[in-house]
């Protein structure tokens, strides 16, 4: 029996700082951000760029820091043996500091982000893995209420289906970041939790490898997420998120359930908008019932009516009015609690749909959208601020607040208020020259 009807029933922080995979292939570490506001304040993911300046961490500083953390770990009840064989063997990794201090230089368009992640190859691999692990995935869905296509989509985006976990010793990366002053508080907690994982016997320190930020295993859990959500699903008395697919996939499902996953509901869907649609109604914070969206002329992407279900939805147009439009439901918000990027959540939802047998996007995102330098985004924010539309600090991140301000400016100017920074609009605001 086809799984698609069930999957599409309703018409289908603590956590990671950096995934192990590159956006498209999973070949190198630390290419995308996940699970916390620390690295992911905006909805549009950004490419890496220049590093901020900060006083270097010396070898002597690191050694003194490890001594201090060793005392703190003892006071926290961690055994001297674990401290001696893991924490006190940690080494300063300067590449980790370089990666942590890098600032995004250019924005990434939705087309670039989406097309590098939701590929025919990844869809085919997801379907093959579903067929290979169907009994396991069925048991996990029965236990946690998360359908297989979603787990496979997360797995594909996080580590390219387990092909790359990152290769940096987690103790090295977490100790380095905890001893650095920039975000010491957060990473000190993660370091202590990593020591607790070792003490519980789930994995040996030398096998505990991950991304530059300490994210681990098939689904790139930070240690705190590991302790709260990892489960032993294969019954060997260990929670192994690296080598045990049952443990890894069940732990991801458990995490999603704890984040609020709504069983039997989908994430959202691609939709079609009528001419003269009021784009000020778009945005994640604007909620309407499906009936209200239907009354505004919104249909499914194939022009058929929206389903008669009593749920709230928000409308997103990540590539402007010329790109695809999406109605998103509560499980979309759950995905964004895993990773605070609208682009990421849309990629998860679409990848899951296609793994389940759904078609690709009806309306492909335009590929000619401008990529903005961080300084250009600051210029845009300042220009919108001067006109009374943007009220936040100009930070160079094109997130929801910037998009909303741009939409309101467009509306005032009698333009399509989709919040999209077209070349014409950027020229009008002085960000681009004629």
> Residue 325 in contact with residue 317, Cβ under 8 Å?
yes
pLDDT at 326: 98
pLDDT at 369: 87
Q: For 159-177, write each residue's pLDDT tens digit.
A: 999 999 999 999 999 999 9
Query: Which domains are present in the chain?
Result: 59-103+162-240 (1.10.8.350), 268-356 (1.10.530.10), 374-429 (no CATH)
Neighbours of 65 (CB within 10 A): 20
pLDDT at 107: 86
pTM: 0.88
pLDDT of 6 strictly over 50? no
> Residue 55 in contact with residue 250, Cβ under 8 Å?
no
Name the band, by pLDDT with cuts 50, 70 and 90, for residue 43.
very low
pLDDT at 54: 62
pLDDT of 26 strictly over 90? no
pLDDT at 102: 81
Cα dist. 36→18, 42, 340, 367, 413 in Å? 9, 11, 7, 29, 36
pLDDT of 16 strictly over 60? no
Q: How far apart are CA 266 and CA 352, in angstroms?
A: 10
Cα dist. 357→124, 126, 138, 307 in Å? 10, 11, 17, 19
Cα dist. 216→20, 116, 162, 243 in Å? 8, 23, 11, 11
Q: For 32-42, write each residue's pLDDT tens digit.
A: 333 433 333 33
Q: State phi, psi for 148 to the nearest 5 degrees.
A: -55, -45
Tokens standing for 289? Answer: 């019932």
Residues ≥6 apart with Cβ < 8 Å to 197: 203, 208, 223, 226, 227
pLDDT of 154 strictly over 80? yes
Tokens standing for 410? Answer: 């467009």
Cα dist. 385→42, 342, 372, 389 in Å? 18, 24, 18, 5
Q: For residues 51 and 248, which has the higher predicted lDDT (pLDDT)?
A: 248
Q: How far apart are CA 104 and CA 364, in angstroms?
A: 26
Cα dist. 87→128, 175, 215, 303, 421 in Å? 40, 8, 17, 59, 48
What would the DSSP string read from start to end of 106-145? BB--HHHHHHHHS-HHHHHHHHHHHHHTHHHHHHHHHHH-
Question: Which of 5, 103, 88 has the alpha carbon at shortest distance from 53?
Answer: 103
Sheet of strand 325-328: strand arrangement: 283-289, 312-316, 325-328, 268-272, 299-300
Q: For 305-337, write each residue's pLDDT tens digit.
A: 999 999 999 999 999 999 999 999 999 999 999
> Residue 95 in contact with residue 172, Cβ under 8 Å?
no
Residue with tokens 């999603």: 256
Q: Rounded mean pLDDT of 24-52?
A: 37
């Amino acid at each position: 029996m086809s799984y698609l009807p069930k999957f599409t029933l309703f018409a289908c922080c603590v956590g990671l700082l950096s995934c192990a995979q590159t956006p498209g292939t999973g070949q190198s570490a630390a290419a995308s951000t996940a699970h916390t506001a620390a690295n992911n304040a905006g909805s549009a993911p950004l490419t890496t760029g220049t590093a901020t300046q900060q006083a270097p961490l010396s070898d002597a500083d690191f050694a003194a820091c490890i001594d201090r953390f060793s005392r703190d770990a003892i006071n926290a009840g961690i055994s001297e043996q674990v401290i001696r064989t893991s924490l006190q063997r940690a080494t300063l990794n300067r590449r980790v500091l370089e990666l942590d201090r890098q600032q995004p230089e250019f924005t990434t368009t939705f087309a670039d982000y989406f097309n590098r992640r939701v590929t025919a190859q990844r869809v085919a691999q997801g379907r093959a893995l579903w067929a290979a692990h169907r009994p396991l995935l069925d048991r996990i869905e029965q236990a946690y209420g998360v359908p297989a296509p979603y787990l496979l989509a997360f797995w594909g985006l996080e580590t390219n289906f387990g092909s790359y976990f990152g290769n940096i010793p987690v103790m090295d990366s977490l100790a380095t970041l905890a001893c650095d002053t920039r975000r010491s508080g957060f990473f000190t907690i993660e370091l202590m939790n990593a020591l607790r994982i070792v003490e519980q016997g789930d994995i040996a320190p030398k096998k505990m490898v991950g991304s530059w930020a300490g994210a681990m295993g098939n689904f790139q859990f930070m240690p705190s997420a590991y302790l709260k959500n990892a489960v032993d699903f294969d019954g060997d008395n260990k929670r192994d998120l690296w080598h045990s697919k049952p443990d890894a996939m069940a732990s991801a499902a458990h995490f999603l359930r704890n984040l609020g996953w709504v069983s039997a509901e989908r994430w959202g869907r691609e939709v079609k908008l009528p001419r003269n649609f009021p784009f000020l109604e778009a945005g994640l914070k604007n909620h309407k019932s499906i009936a209200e969206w239907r009354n505004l002329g919104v249909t499914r992407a194939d022009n058929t009516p929206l389903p008669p279900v009593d749920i709230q939805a928000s409308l997103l147009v990540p590539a402007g009015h010329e790109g695809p439009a999406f109605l998103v439901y509560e499980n979309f918000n759950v995905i964004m609690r895993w990773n605070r990027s609208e682009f990421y959540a849309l990629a998860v939802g679409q990848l899951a749909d296609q793994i389940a047998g759904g078609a690709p996007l009806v309306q492909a995102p335009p590929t000619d959208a401008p990529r903005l330098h961080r300084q250009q985004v600051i210029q845009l924010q300042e220009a919108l601020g001067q006109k009374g539309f943007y009220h936040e600090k100009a930070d160079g991140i094109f997130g929801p607040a910037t998009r909303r301000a741009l939409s309101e400016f467009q509306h005032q100017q009698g333009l399509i208020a989709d919040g999209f920074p077209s070349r014409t609009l950027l020229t009008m605001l002085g960000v681009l020259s004629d």
